[in-house]
Amino acid sequence: MTKETPDQGRYAARGVSATKTEVHDAVDKLDQGVFPGAFCKVVPDVLTGDPKKCNLIHADGSGTKSLIAYLHYKETGEASIFRGIAQDSIVMNLDDLLCVGATGPILFNSTVNRNARNFDGKALAELINGNEAFLAKLREFGVNIVSGGGETADVGDITDTVTVDSCAVAVMDRDQVITGQKIVPGLAIIGISSAGQATYEDFPNSGIGSNGLTSARHELLSHYYAEKYPETFDKATDKQYVYCGPYKLGDTLPGSDMSVGQALLSPTRTYAPIITKLLAEQPEAVRGLVHCSGGGQGKCLRFGQKVHFVKDKLMPLPPIFKVIREVSGTSWKEMYQVFNMGHRMEVYCPHESADTLLEIIRGFGVEAQVIGHTEESQREGGQNHLTLTHEGEALEYAL
């Protein structure tokens, strides 16, 4: 069942840019900080003025994943579903910070923009308490992250539903920063699974994370939701792209024990306990970390110089991504640019260190394997590029 769609077409048709060209155009002109090639912007130590230290302040949120929780809440009355959205918003920051080596202490804050009529006090309380509970759990697992407050704005003229955003701050020693400069030719790439259940998790994860959820929601869910909850989609989107899937939230996801709702709402896994241990025990081996968030498997292209990323031994595709592909007919090339497709965290290391790192990772009950390697760029001027092998077919990517 393949629909006719141009590459990157379906994502763009819903008003979302997978490559964020416009945003990068505006931001790339700004000062790029102390380590321009690092995964997050790193600035001098504004906060305490120590020349040996630096600061990170990072913002991200749960994006449109909140809308799936909203649908679930409206259908079932279960406000506790928003606890997962709190986790999504936190992890989208925390796991970006991990990629520069910031494993805590981290100071955290959250912002909710809501339509108070549709997103009520009960839902809000779950979001706020969910934040606190997830941070407490992270602290149990050795991640020093503390909430310093939050803000809720009633902006019913701007949204019919809710956005959930967070900001995370760290002060780091400059010599501890993972700068991205060590992502060079000649390394192994370890992928750490986004699916399954880690020793520090209470239930299995579909692997979905918090990227590509606009697409996943519309592709999987039935037009029933468009008719019943018109507040959950952009009226300017062509109807054929709005909730055009076959499923209701309670339906079983093919190839899985989860419902479609459970799979779509799986809270984004944090890799913080794993990365903290890797950096503590094998600091020399960890040459680079890439969080495959916005941009999916193409995220790596922005890091390192003159690198040809070769991902030719990817992990098995979790069912959620198979199903999205099947019902949408999205091209495989676009699928890998929108979704993490099985691993959301990459560790770049010398080939000879891979086994040691894999053993540590697997100690957390999470699947991991060498999914590829880096070599010299074959492009003119040494431009970074990526060759990703999907079922024997090579897909090519560059910025």
Please identify, among the stretches 57-65, 249-257, 315-323, 388-396, the one whose residues bind a second copy according to the rule CB under 8 A.
57-65
- Tell me: does residue 240 bind a second copy (CB under 8 A): no
The alpha carbon torsion through 289, 100, 62, 204 (nearest 10 deg) reads 50
Closest CA to 297 of 186, 184, 189: 189
> 103, 194, 214, 337: which one contacts a second copy (CB under 8 A)?
214
Part of the chain binding a second copy (CB under 8 A), chosen from 12-20, 332-340, 343-351, 386-394 = 12-20
C-alpha–C-alpha distance, residues 362 and 257, integer Å? 23
- Give residues 93-112 in contact with a second copy (rule: CB under 8 A): 105-111
- How long is the chain? 399
Among 9-17, 175-183, 184-192, 193-201, which window interacts with a second copy (CB under 8 A)? 9-17
Residues that bind a second copy (rule: CB under 8 A) add up to a total of 81
Of the candidate spans 145-153, 175-183, 193-201, 261-269, the one that interacts with a second copy by CB under 8 A turns out to be 145-153
28 near a second copy (CB under 8 A): no
Distances (CA, A) of 251 to 263, 267, 340, 368, 371: 11, 19, 23, 29, 32
168 is written with which tokens? Answer: 């995370």
Which is nearer to a second copy, 38 or 189 (by Cβ)?
38
Residue 137 CA to residue 251 CA, distance in Å, equals 30
Examine residue 369 and tell whether it contacts a second copy (CB under 8 A): no
Joined tokens for residue 201: 């998790």
**Position 115 contacts a second copy (CB under 8 A):** yes
DSSP category for residue 398: E
Closest approach, Cβ 57 to a second copy, in A, equals 4
290 forms part of the interface with a second copy (CB under 8 A):
no
Cα 98–103–109 angle (5° rounding)? 85
Task: Please tell me what DSSP assigns to residue 246.
Answer: S
User: Does residue 132 touch a second copy according to CB under 8 A?
Assistant: yes
From 10, 58, 72, 291, residue interacting with a second copy (rule: CB under 8 A): 58
Give the separation between CA 324 and CA 264, rounded to whole angstroms: 11
Question: Where in 151-210 is the site for a second copy (CB under 8 A)?
Answer: 151-163, 165, 167, 169-171
User: Which of residues 1 and 236 has its CB atom nearest to a second copy in the complex?
Assistant: 236
CB within 8 A of 244, min separation 6: which ones? 218, 219, 223
**330 near a second copy, rule: CB under 8 A:** no
Quick one: 11 or 321, whose CB is closer to a second copy?
A: 11
